[in-house]
Amino acid sequence: MKKISLILLLLILALPGAAFGHGESGEAVTRLQTALYALGYLDSAPDGHYGKETARATKRLLRHAPDLREEEIHEAWRTGGLNPVSGELNLGDASEAVLLTQRRLCALGYLAVVDGRFGEETRRALQLFQGDNGLNTSGTTDPETRAALFAEHAAPAQYPVLARGMKGERVQQLQQRLRLLGFMTGDPDGDYGEETAKAVKALERYTGAPHCTGHADQGLQVLLYGELPLPEAADGQDTYRIQRRLTVLGYLQADPDGGYGEVTKAALGAFAKNAKVNGEAAAIERLFREDAPEAERPYRLVIDLSDQVLYVMRKKGDAEKQAYAMACSTGPEVAPGRYRELTRPGEEWRRMEGLGWVCCPYRLEPGLYLHSVPFDEEGGRADTAALSGLGNPSSAKGIMLSPENARFIWERCIPGTPVEIRE
């Protein structure tokens, strides 16, 4: 009986997929996972722990190569004897082979989206990989590409793709570069959200990309960190860059529209005067340098909670005096403090939760806004009750002003204007 049991045990251990047990850890598991990850069967990077995901990935691979044993997978992959894609994939294909190819491109930093469909983004990622590995940039999985893509020493992307949802130092560096070159006006916070994706799409349009994804792949990052040509003073994408850069530095208050009109010319002239340069070309060249001077911020805002008044203080030399006093209404969450991040969250009109439409919103910090009283609709009529209540605390969120005063702040107080809230 014992002899029979021993024979059964040996037979079980000889079956494919039986070399490792759930929960097992160690170097051998890491080697297995490395091969599975490189071949596109495993979604997450190797962690040395044999769990359900590793077991499922192993089973999928062994269906493709039934003669292999689990402990033989790593060596078969390392020596080039294991390739999950056997045919040529082209634009429009949808299959498991496409999925495995995309996962491998993802692991190497060339692709952000894995969906099993061979679209333009997958073809571009494949071409970037082919270029980095000395292959013909056909954008298809020809035999040479298949051999190189799934090989142990396949070259990873120099600039791994960045996309929505990612966070960290590399995202922040990307945002800083987008701001410097006139594609982004928001703060570089290291969070790849919609504003960053919008800025990347602006760069894609500027460089003539046929398909705008909002993903910063290697090709786009090479352009961004390389020598991108300076824009010219002409209507269109070049002027959008100039306007965004002037907005970041505080010289332009109007929303960028791509039109090189009098407002933009005046803003560029103000920058040139402050930067001490002569001529349009010299001003544009200096505008896109890291040492470009910011506009002076002549105002400081002081909000008095006890009086429910917003005071606009103006600097004059070394002195400061009150320029305007505006009745306001502050919500219960508005607390004393100093705020130096007066920023525009977006368009001139914004729909605020619990209030409805307001105009000229400024953000003091996440969740705290200074804006007009609510309107019945965008561009409609201001709430008369809210108007008559100015000068008194409000149950609504934020800091409310009359439409005229909110517009004054919007037009005169550039982003970065310091704000103080006091009792």
Name the domain boundary from 267, 287, 307: 287
Kindly state whether residues 219 and 248 are assigned to the same domain.
Answer: no
pLDDT at residue 64 greater than cutoff 60: yes
Residue 231 lies in a domain: no
Share of the chain above pLDDT 90, in %: 59
pLDDT at 141: 94
Cα 309 versus chain centre, distance: 38
Residue 293 lies in a domain: no
pLDDT at residue 416 greater than cutoff 80: no
pLDDT at 422: 95
* pLDDT, tens digit, 9 for 90 and up, residues 211-225: 899 999 999 999 999
Confidence of residue 39 (pLDDT cuts 50, 70, 90): confident
Residue 320 lies in a domain: yes
The SS3 call for residue 320 is strand
* pLDDT, tens digit, 9 for 90 and up, residues 244-282: 999 899 888 777 899 999 889 988 998 999 999 999 999
Residue 347 lies in a domain: yes
pLDDT at 346: 66
pLDDT at residue 171 greater than cutoff 90: yes
E strands present in 309-390: 309-316, 319-327, 329-330, 337-339, 349-352, 356-359, 362-365, 368-372
**Cα angle at 351 between 349 and 356, to 5 degrees?**
115
- 151 vs 38, 40, 324, CA distance in Å? 8, 12, 69
Cα 400 versus chain centre, distance: 31
Kindly state whether residues 283 and 304 are assigned to the same domain.
Answer: no
pLDDT at 79: 74
How many beta carbons lie within 10 A of that of residue 367, not counting itself?
Answer: 9
- pLDDT, mean of residues 278-296: 94
Confidence of residue 13 (pLDDT cuts 50, 70, 90): very low
Task: Answer yes or no: pTM beyond 0.85.
Answer: no
Kindly state whether residues 52 and 107 are assigned to the same domain.
Answer: no
Confidence of residue 326 (pLDDT cuts 50, 70, 90): very high
- 38 vs 80, 115, 157, 250, 338, CA distance in Å? 12, 17, 14, 48, 51
Give 375's strand partners.
Answer: 357, 382
CATH number reported for the structural domain that contains residue 207 in this entry: 1.10.101.10
pLDDT at 297: 74
pLDDT at 319: 83
47 backbone φψ class: left, alpha, beta (φ>0; ψ -120 to 50): alpha
Q: Dihedral of CA 392/393/395/400: which sign?
A: positive
Residue 101: burial class (beta carbons within 10 Å; 0-12, 13-18, 19+): buried
Give 368's strand partners.
Answer: 365
* pLDDT, tens digit, 9 for 90 and up, residues 377-406: 999 999 999 999 999 999 988 999 999 999
d(CA 224, CA 171): 13
Pairing, β 299-304 against β 419-422: parallel
pLDDT at residue 2 greater than cutoff 50: no
What is the token pair recorded at 140? 């298809």
| Contact status, residue 219 vs residue 128, Cβ threshold 8 Å | yes
383-392 long-range contacts (CB < 8 A, ≥24 apart) are 386/329, 389/329, 390/308, 390/327, 390/328, 390/329, 391/308, 391/309, 391/327, 391/328, 391/329, 392/308, 392/329
pLDDT at 41: 85
pLDDT at 34: 86
* pLDDT, tens digit, 9 for 90 and up, residues 66-118: 777 888 788 877 777 777 888 899 999 999 999 999 999 999 999 999 999 99
Kindly state whether residues 346 and 409 are assigned to the same domain.
Answer: yes
CATH number reported for the structural domain that contains residue 69 in this entry: 1.10.101
pLDDT at 153: 87
Confidence of residue 4 (pLDDT cuts 50, 70, 90): very low
Kindly state whether residues 218 and 130 are assigned to the same domain.
Answer: no
pLDDT at residue 37 greater than cutoff 90: no
Kindly state whether residues 349 and 417 are assigned to the same domain.
Answer: yes
**Cα angle at 205 between 199 and 210, to 5 degrees?**
130
Residues 273, 274, 278, 284: what is their CA dihedral angle, to the nearest 10 degrees? -120
Kindly state whether residues 325 and 255 are assigned to the same domain.
Answer: no
Kindly state whether residues 315 and 283 are assigned to the same domain.
Answer: no
Output 302 or 299, whichever has higher pLDDT: 302
Residues 203, 274, 257, 365: what is their CA dihedral angle, to the nearest 10 degrees? 80
Residue 389 lies in a domain: yes
Output 14 or 247, whichever has higher pLDDT: 247
Residue 112 lies in a domain: yes
Name the domain boundary from 30, 49, 78: 78
Kindly state whether residues 409 and 351 are assigned to the same domain.
Answer: yes
What is the token pair recorded at 217? 């792949």
Residue 7 lies in a domain: no
Kindly state whether residues 243 and 330 are assigned to the same domain.
Answer: no
Kindly state whether residues 308 and 415 are assigned to the same domain.
Answer: yes
Confidence of residue 341 (pLDDT cuts 50, 70, 90): low
DSSP letter for 278, please: -
Cα 408 versus chain centre, distance: 32
pLDDT at 200: 97
DSSP letter for 122, please: H
Which domain, by its residues, includes 55? Answer: 16-78
- 404 vs 327, 328, 372, CA distance in Å? 11, 12, 8
Residue 10 lies in a domain: no
pLDDT at 178: 97
Q: How many domains does the chain have?
A: 5
309-316: strand order across its sheet:
319-327, 309-316, 299-304, 419-422, 337-339
Kindly state whether residues 73 and 140 are assigned to the same domain.
Answer: no
